[in-house]
Amino acid sequence: MADWQSWKKEAAYVGGAWIGADSGKTIDVTNPATGDVLGTVPACGAAETKRAIDAAAEAFDGLAGMGLMDRVGLLWKLHDALMDNQAALAELLTVEMGKPLAEAMGEIAIGAQYVRWFAEEARRAKGEIVPAGVNGRRILVTKHPVGVVGMITPWNFPSSMLARKLAPALAVGCPVVAKPATATPYSGLAWAALAEEVGFASGAVNVLTGSARDIAGAMMDDFRVRKVTFTGSTEVGKELIRQSADTVKKVSMELGGNAPFLVFDDADLDKAVEGAMVSKYRNSGQTCVCANRIYVQAGVHDAFVEKLVEKTRALKVGDGREDGVEQGPLIDMDAVEKVEELLNDAKAKGAEVACGGARHSNGGSFFEPTVLTGATPEMAFAKEEIFGPLAPVFRFETEDEGIAMANDTVFGLASYAYTSDLGRAFRLNQGLAYGMIGINSGLITTVEAPFGGVKESGLGKEGGSQGLEDYLETKYVCIDGI
């Protein structure tokens, strides 16, 4: 079985070939836990991207036109190749990104599940026959692959964020031109190696590393790229939506979050704390669905904080490859500074540090898991994504107040609430302006469900049947004279 080093591809993959940048320039990739340079990747730009789009456009007819079960068979093989190499791919992910190995194993596994799910869903990409309004006519509605798809993904889930895009695209016959985040390119390049290994034709999957502006710019300018799917910050997402207008591309945008986590007086407190721990601290707080604001109803506030602090103190921080580590480093020093800035702002406005509150003694980009009490809407994290292991606790009195505070943001990705009142659960479903709502669950991502946000958290869905629909165009045929 190959080890993680052999999955570390120090080249881009374009038109079925592993290439360097035209300029010969490279970019260093480092391990955030140690600061060691792991290797390099090519600093590609617009010219290499144009060649990748040429290759993808050429591959389109072959990929879209092959027998459905042949394409599905390739996805089954892709699933198996991922799972056969799960440990090596997970280690590669941990060394470039920092998350604990157990989380990286989970990320590879859910990526494989997305591949399997979309292979299944592609077999159900059904059209419709709609009753015609007049005799002698038939109305057919049919589904077709959208065409070449450009994909841009972030560093926090370097493997599974691509899985959710690659799998539906390939399942319906759309060739791919992907650009993973510069901090974590190897898990993205591994998808190219896997696609090559299982037999996708050249041009079906292309993966480029290098300048985000140049690569994305070339994708956005090219009419042949009919869809762009992006996961990342709202700021960049807005820019891409603007750029998509010139060639009227379909866009899917998985953008930032600011998840509220509500705990009501009638909640099972131990379960609520367990949910808060997983929702807040997974990936050291660096997920778009991490609890960003924890709202606790007055009657259970103090008891909840006590339990949360106890569990937070017990978290083991360290190199993700070490046994039992639950919290890795943050991605880089900018991330540490951002967390410190939010912490200092909150302290200046009256918040109290209940535990943590400083850089970790491990040095580098490690930060202590931190609980803050006395959080208020005036503090910066009430409006901004923290993206780090900082858990601010707000107090609220009534259900209406809790919902209003939770909705007081431009974001609308994930939200969570703990309650034992069934009626309240339905009122929350109605009242929370979020694309995803976890009732009595802090971990809600699953392949069967449509993952995605509302408001400034994005457009479109990944997963579920909706996640396939985003890669399809609908045509209508009117047959007259029957």
Three-state secondary structure call for residue 224: coil
Q: Does 232 bind ligand NAP (CB under 6 A)?
A: yes
Q: For ligand NAP, which stretch binds (CB under 6 A), given 15-23, 125-133, 211-219, 375-383?
A: 211-219
- Pairing outcome for strands 291-297 and 458-459: unpaired
Q: Does 181 bind ligand NAP (CB under 6 A)?
A: yes
The distance from CA 386 to its chain's CA centroid, rounded to whole angstroms, is: 16
Q: Count CA atoms closer than 13 A to 143's CA, side-chain side.
A: 17
Q: For ligand NAP, which stretch binds (CB under 6 A), given 35-43, 67-75, 229-237, 306-314?
A: 229-237
Three-state secondary structure call for residue 276: helix
Catalytic residue among 44, 288, 290, 355: 288
Contact letters (x/-) for ligand NAP, 36-75, by CB under 6 A?
----------------------------------------
Can you read off the two tokens belonging to residue 33?
């836990």
In terms of C-beta density within 10 A (0-12 exposed, 13-18 middle, 19 or more buried), how is residue 182 classed? middle
Distances (CA, A) of 70 to 60, 66, 117, 194, 304: 15, 7, 16, 17, 53
Q: For ligand NAP, which stretch binds (CB under 6 A), given 14-22, 61-69, 230-238, 322-330?
A: 230-238
Q: Does 412 bind ligand NAP (CB under 6 A)?
A: no
Shortest gap between Cβ of 49 and ligand NAP (angstroms)? Answer: 12
Q: Does 229 bind ligand NAP (CB under 6 A)?
A: no
Q: Does 434 bind ligand NAP (CB under 6 A)?
A: no
Q: For ligand NAP, which stretch binds (CB under 6 A), given 226-234, 268-276, 298-306, 366-374?
A: 226-234
Distances (CA, A) of 151 to 25, 57, 361, 472, 473: 23, 15, 38, 15, 18
Q: Does 256 bind ligand NAP (CB under 6 A)?
A: yes
The verdict on whether 290 is a catalytic residue reads no
Q: Does 312 bind ligand NAP (CB under 6 A)?
A: no
CA 299 to CA 267: how far, in whole Å? Answer: 11
The verdict on whether 254 is a catalytic residue reads yes
Shortest gap between Cβ of 142 and ligand NAP (angstroms)? Answer: 30
- Pairing outcome for strands 390-396 and 436-439: unpaired
The distance from CA 257 to its chain's CA centroid, rounded to whole angstroms, is: 11
Contact letters (x/-) for ligand NAP, 450-469, by CB under 6 A?
---x----x-----------
In terms of C-beta density within 10 A (0-12 exposed, 13-18 middle, 19 or more buried), how is residue 162 classed? buried
Contact letters (x/-) for ligand NAP, 102-141, by CB under 6 A?
----------------------------------------
**Radius of gyration in angstroms for the set of CA atoms belonging to the chain, rounded to a whole number:** 23
Q: Does 288 bind ligand NAP (CB under 6 A)?
A: yes
Q: Which is nearer to ligand NAP, 289 or 305 (CB)?
A: 289
Positive or negative: CA dihedral 191, 193, 198, 204: positive
Phi, psi of 43 (to 5 degrees): -90, 80
Q: Which is nearer to ligand NAP, 14 or 220 (CB)?
A: 220
Pick from 145, 150, 154, 260 the residue near ligand NAP by CB under 6 A: 154
- CB atoms under 10 Å from CB of 242, counted, come to 10
Q: Does 385 bind ligand NAP (CB under 6 A)?
A: yes
Q: Which is nearer to ligand NAP, 154 or 357 (CB)?
A: 154
Q: Does 390 bind ligand NAP (CB under 6 A)?
A: no
Can you read off the two tokens belonging to residue 334?
């900018």
Please give the angle made by the CA atoms of 237, 242 and 245, to the nearest 5 degrees: 125
Tell me the residue length of the chain. 482
Q: Does 388 bind ligand NAP (CB under 6 A)?
A: no
Do the Cβ atoms of 39 and 8 come closer than 8 Å? yes
Catalytic residue among 48, 254, 326, 368: 254
CA 337 to CA 215: how far, in whole Å? Answer: 28
Among 153, 158, 8, smallest CA distance to 92 is for 8
CA 109 to CA 79: how far, in whole Å? Answer: 9
Report the residue number whose CB is nearest to ligand NAP: 232
Q: For ligand NAP, which stretch binds (CB under 6 A), given 123-131, 181-189, 194-202, 261-269?
A: 181-189
Size of the site for ligand NAP (CB under 6 A): 28
Shortest gap between Cβ of 264 and ligand NAP (angstroms)? Answer: 26
CA 444 to CA 110: how far, in whole Å? Answer: 12
Please identify which residue in the block is written with the tokens 């292991």. 389
Q: Does 29 bind ligand NAP (CB under 6 A)?
A: no
Q: Does 216 bind ligand NAP (CB under 6 A)?
A: yes
Q: For ligand NAP, which stretch binds (CB under 6 A), given 50-58, 119-127, 153-161, 267-275?
A: 153-161
Q: Can you give the binding site for ligand NAP, defined by CB under 6 A?
A: 152-157, 161, 179, 181-183, 212-213, 216, 231-233, 236, 239, 254-257, 288, 385, 413, 453, 458
Give the catalytic positions in this structure.
254, 288
